[in-house]
Amino acid sequence: MGIATVNPATGETLKTFAPLATEEIAAKLDRSQHTFEQYRHTSFEQRSNWLHKAAEILAANKAEYGKIMTLEVGKPIEAAIAEVEKSAWVCRYYADHAKEFLADVVIGTDASRSFVRYQPLGIVLAVMPWNFPFWQVFRFAAPALMAGNVGLLKHASNVPQSALAIESILLEAGFPAGAFQTLLIGANQIPQVIEDDRVRAATLTGSEAAGASLASAAGAQIKKTVLELGGSDPFIVLESADLNAAVSTAVTARMINSGQSCIAAKRFIVQESIANEFTSKLVERYRSLKVGDPLDPNIQIGPLSTPGIRTELDQLVQACIERGAKALIGGSLNELPEHLKQGYYYPPTILAEIPPGTPAADEEFFGPVALLFRVPDLESAIALANRSPFGLGSSAWTTIPEEQNRLIHDIEAGCVFINSMVKSDPRLPFGGIKRSGYGRELGIQGIHEFVNIKTVWVQ
């Protein structure tokens, strides 16, 4: 696939870019290393000032940057603007807290003085996805830059204008020219970057296949990686739950970015005693969803990002239906109105009565498709939630403290949200287990991923 902006709402190619040549990549690596040698000595105060300025630029131009995202990935415009605002938030958060997060930690030993010091590693490569083109990058860049590292961004090939805009924002904010550079390159050019001795670590958000490929290449070079991969997050609703709140949140949680989010709720696991009522309310809410032009602020569901993503999603849905699952709403591209068929839209879909052995058991459905399961009790709900190869997020709804504690303790995931939808927050660590990856972003844990945790002993 080439590097290009293709409007998913129309299929129109808006702008194309040539990938960097080998010598251009080498020049950017040279600049990164040269910049790091000076940048690592800048003060926290200076870095904080630059990052606060980046937040100001984001906030002042949120409509412009939001439109770029909408045109590149079909994100509904109101959600795109909110993403820019959240990116500003993570910049402000690390600008305000990095110094304390990276302060020396004194530890009492039999030395005259002993402590832990956090120091930057150097160049960190970030391989980022298209679904949150600003947020995913800034949640890496803010802590990495505050720690004194420099970044190279290999963004998804369908969001080149977002990638260039982010580099421009950080330059305008005052960061040195080589502190954060965008590499417009294809996936086949990543090895040239990761194999360079000056690149010390890498982080990737994306598919299992992409994560395995990067981790393998980095492992061959003995380099640290952080991976945030797919998810098939359970949304458990037990009979004591506030049903109206659970249904309302279920729709929002599933339809994040038109369903294209790793932490979107995907498997709805509902206790049998309330399943009929929950299902009826969920279908009713689905019928009211507005699908259409993502630049229209009244639209809730935009197109999927690429035709390939839509094809893959439809194949998964059809495989489930062919084996006995029932589509309560949606389930076929033929249900789309004629005026949406030139874009990459998919109808909001709910699949129920899903038999064992379908893709719903172990695949990530990336789009506006809810998978509905019924279970008799708490034990069965936890068992089904954990039967997935993924372990990113989870949401569970109950007002009984004992059930809450069981869910918190026993669900296999990087995060558990009780009576709330899963979301990322700069103040809390974010990441998964099992095939959802390893390592953490955000919080104090996120800024500690790409530093040398140096033990110092003075006698």
Q: What amino acid positions are annotated as catalytic residues?
A: 228, 262
Phi and psi (nearest 5°) for 245? -65, -40
d(C-alpha 27, C-alpha 268), whole Å = 49
Measured from the Cβ of residue 205, the count of other Cβ atoms closer than 10 Å reads 25
Strand partners, 154: 127
d(C-alpha 91, C-alpha 49), whole Å = 10
- Sign of the Cα torsion 309, 310, 315, 321 reads positive
- Tokens describing residue 203: 């982080």
- Tokens describing residue 206: 């994306």
Name the residue among 223, 249, 256, 221 with its Cα closest to residue 235: 249
Measured from the Cβ of residue 192, the count of other Cβ atoms closer than 10 Å reads 16
d(C-alpha 400, C-alpha 387), whole Å = 24
Instruction: Give CA angle at 127 (126, 131), nearest 5°.
Output: 120
